Amino acid sequence: MKSHHLLHSAAWLAGLTLAFPAAAQAQAAADSTAAAEATAQPADPTPAPAPSDNAGDIVVTATKQSLSLAKTPAAISAIRSDEIMPGGIQNIGDLQTVVPNVSIGDQFGVNRTFVRGIGLTSIDLGADGAVAFLQDGAIISRPSAQLSGFYDLDQIEVLRGPQGTLYGRGATGGAINLVVKKPTTTPEGYARLTIGNYQSRVLEAAVGGPIADDKLMVRVAGKYEKRDGYGKNLFTGRDIDDRDAYAFRGVLVSRLTPDVKLTLIGDHSREKDANYAFHYFGPSIVPDAALPHKLIGGQSIIDYYAARGEKPNFRNIYSDEEPLNRRRGTGVTGILDFNLGDVAIKSTTAYRKFRRFNRDDLDVSDVWMYGRNDYTEDSKSFSQELTGNYSAGNVTLLGGLMYFREKLFGEVRVPTVNLGVLFGLPADIFDDGFYLQRGTVKTKAYGAFLQGSYQVTPELKITAGARYNYERRAGSGFFRFDAIGVNVPTDKKKGWSAITPKFLVEYEPDADTLLYGTITRGFKSGVINVGSANAVIDPEFVWNYEAGFKRKLFDRRVLLSGAVFYYDYKDLQVGFVNAQSIVETVNAASARNYGAELEVQGKVTDQLNLNAYGAYLNARFTDFCNGYYGAAVPRPGISYKACSSDPALADLSGKRLPNAPSFSFGGGFDYTVPLGRSKIVADADMSYQSKVYFTEFNNYDAEQKGYALFNAGLTYYTPGERFMVRGWVKNIGDKYVVANNIITAATFAYVRVGSLMPPRTYGLTLGTKF
């Protein structure tokens, strides 16, 4: 390991912290509220609004305590409600433009979030993400169910780094927590109508208030979206990547007693469109002219444009199959908060069901050539978590119990129509057959954790804790591939346990500065994929060594945060399509990630808000051998060392992890121009991400080169912000960006398919607030 890079980064961050004048420290010491904000307030999970002139006071709860952002000893970002709006943060993919070391792309309608190079790599049924995704602390387990819900939110919290003690299973990358807006004792609401290009129409509204003072309060919110497609199926003339969806949510808050609060959250979402289409990006090792569909007279989008003498536009497809996207989800969460003086207890109970059907064309042509992929997923999950906080004198204890269960049914069905031509047989010989994965996986998980903090001196605090995790999965089903005579049961079961400790040191030399260092262990459960012939996949583990700081500057108007980290990974789970055209997941032997992050945000003047971030990441395999899909077709400039344990495999040690950019940075501002009692607010932001690879082979056929995105908006507010008119544009340069790219199976000649980030979009938003 090149440890001097990490040490240099640490020295650089420390130098930034200590280089600022001490004048702010004197004022900070005199301010009694600064000391109070360092104390955990776990009883009420509803974040308080951040004071407009005091950076870092926004309250975050992702660490299972209510702490201000400036006093949270972790790498965490918080996106405020006023940033979650048209032209701003509109979906989960937008988070990568405002949070360091976050890369997000969907594949087949599945959320693939990567934090510091760790995320969901498998494309198989039943695969789990490595970033815990929650709504008000209740887990949303299915990655495909995590693409809705971005409306009427109080804030979004992104916690970077392994969270094995707090969250246990499935949080080796970090955690994302959506905090929904709660009703208050004051009646309030809003409505927004947005009209934009691609015939976009978005209606979002919410209303809430008291029914019986603070004894019973209710809020209801909803969002409806409809737009034309970002591209077309040029064979049929129909739109693709369009959107037709709605979602609504109800929140009830009741003060059962002065010390007991009940919060009930119910939500429902539905989408029916041609979204999440597979785009053909061209061939890899087999030339386009030699793809299998040519054998029965098929054409690809490359052929379509070549006949017209034009450069291909890969936002479009050319397929006999229309992309289909049908999904609906419902969730109910109940939260009970007990404030018992020195003890605070929270119970979070959640039930969620989600179903989706997706169809796409893997032969990327206008003929039916065993390429139609029908994908069904049906999940029902239940979770119960009980956490307790005790604080007295110099001691703070945080502990909890967790139970989770899920029943997941899934099916991948590919009719093998015209597959015979691939074997030199009559084309229709396998027309009645299938490639079929079908089955159910049942998961049960238990966890218990306890961590304690001791205030050694007014400046020094030490925290130690650990979590016990146990998870058991049982799969039943079958895998069938008629063309090669395979029809096998896939029943299997296995359980795993792990202990994930944590050690944390915090040092506050003054009320405006926090320094911390932590050692944590992360654990991602083993996997049994639905109806898969894949062997049981073992868990992955990571040790994280991290140091960071937070400092308020310029009369506390600006918060500067930074962190350096080093990961030591074992048995990292990696998914791919093997040489037998079967989706497979294996445990890579080891990997290591290290890097640095820096964030700054604040109200520089009464009129100007600024934010910026920068990140460096070095994430590479240290010991990993795998079969290269192009081994039999040598290409100039592409070669791999043979694996010492098996010369038939490629040695991938030193290769970058998928979706792990070396550099990312960005920044933005909003500037207010007073117009009497009215005002105009101008805002703009940019983000840059360096090159990423989408597979472990680090080839040009599965990469996205570095790119920058620019967004801007202009908003007029009437007095009291009662009404607003906003014009905005996203991706001003209309940048073409691949969000994800997979290399398909040998059966489909290893073509490159995937998804794209949205093109340039713009719109006009009319809103009212009451």
Tens-digit pLDDT profile for residues 412-454: 999 999 999 988 899 999 999 999 999 999 999 999 999 999 9
CATH number for position 747: 2.40.170.20
Tell me what pLDDT residue 578 has.
66
Q: In DSSP terms, which residues pair with 80 in a beta bridge?
A: 155
> 657-686 pLDDT, tens per residue?
999 999 999 999 999 999 999 999 999 999
HSE-CB at 759 with a 13 A cutoff on CA atoms is 14
Q: Is 316 in contact with 231 (CB distance < 8 Å)?
A: yes
Taking Cα atoms as reference points, which of 431, 324, 322 lies closest to residue 369?
A: 431
The values of phi and psi at residue 751, to 5°, are: -70, 160
Lowest pLDDT segment from 123-132, 346-355, 592-601, 642-651: 123-132
Q: What is the 3-state secondary structure (H, E, C) of 678-721?
A: EEEEEEEEEEEECCEECCCCCCHHHEECCEEEEEEEEEEECHHH
pLDDT-above-90 percentage for the chain: 73
Cα 521 to Cα 23, 398, 452, 507, 744, distances in angstroms: 39, 18, 17, 22, 34
* Residue 642 DSSP class: B
In tens, the pLDDT along 443-493 reads 999 999 999 999 999 999 999 999 999 999 999 999 999 888 889 999 999
Count of C-beta atoms within a 10 Å radius of residue 367:
20
Buried b (16+ CB within 10 A) or exposed e, 111-135: bbbbbbbbbbbbbbbbbbbbbbbbb
Three-state SS letters, 3-54: HHHHHHHHHHHHHHHHHCCCHHHHHHHHCHHHHHCCCCCCCCCCCCCCCCCC
CA angle, 507 then 512 then 515, to 5°: 25
Q: What is the pLDDT of residue 38?
A: 38
Angle made by CA atoms 99, 104, 108, in degrees to the nearest 5: 160
Q: Which residue has the higher pLDDT, 37 or 301?
A: 301
Separation between Cα atoms, residue 589 and residue 583, nearest integer Å: 19
Question: Which pLDDT score is estimated for 527?
Answer: 86
On average, the pLDDT of the chain sits at 89
The secondary element (H helix, E strand) that includes residue 409 is strand 395-415
Lowest mean pLDDT among 46-55, 91-100, 358-367, 476-485: 46-55
DSSP 416: -
How far apart, in whole angstroms, are the C-alpha atoms of residue 287 and residue 701?
A: 12
The predicted structure's pLDDT at residue 108 = 78
Helices (H), 245-392: 301-306
Q: Would the pLDDT of 85 be above 70?
A: yes
In whole angstroms, what separates CA 399 from the centre of its chain? 26
Output the CA–CA distances (angstroms, integers) from residue 611 to 115, 267, 288, 666, in the order listed: 20, 32, 46, 8
Would the pLDDT of 714 be above 80?
yes
Split at pLDDT 50, 70, 90, the class of 121 is confident
At residue 457's C-alpha, the angle toward residues 454 and 461, to 5°, is 40
Predicted confidence (pLDDT) at residue 494 exceeds the cutoff of 80: yes
Q: Region 206-230: what's the mean pLDDT?
A: 96
- pLDDT grade, residue 202 (50/70/90)? very high
Q: What one-letter code names the amino acid at 657?
A: L
pLDDT band at 580 (very low <50, low <70, confident <90, very high): low
Judged against a pLDDT cut of 60, whether residue 690 lies above it is answered with yes
Q: Please give the Cα distance from 661 to 705 (Å, whole number).
A: 10
Residue with the two structure tokens 């202990």: 499
Structure tokens at 78: 């918080």
Lowest mean per-residue pLDDT among 84-93, 276-285, 578-587:
578-587
Number of domains making up the chain: 1
Helix (H) or strand (E) holding 349: strand 343-361
Distance CA 447, CA 421 (A): 52
Amino acid at 419: L
DSSP character for 421? G
Long-range own/partner contacts, residues 420-428 (CB < 8 A, 24 or more apart): 421/292, 421/295, 421/296, 422/292, 422/370, 422/747, 423/483, 427/295, 427/296
Domain that residue 295 falls in: 3-769
For 16, counting Cβ atoms within 10 Å of its Cβ (0-12 exposed, 13-18 middle, 19+ buried), the class is middle
pLDDT of residue 579: 61
Per-residue tokens: 470: 């146990």
In sequence order, the 6+-apart residues with CB closer than 8 A to the CB of 88 are 94, 683, 711, 713, 728
**pLDDT 10s digits, 547-561:** 999 999 999 999 999
Query: What pLDDT score was predicted for residue 564?
Result: 98
Contact in structure between 414 and 370 (CB atoms under 8 Å): yes
**Quick check: 8 pLDDT over 80?**
no
Distance of CA 415 to the CA centre of its chain: 32
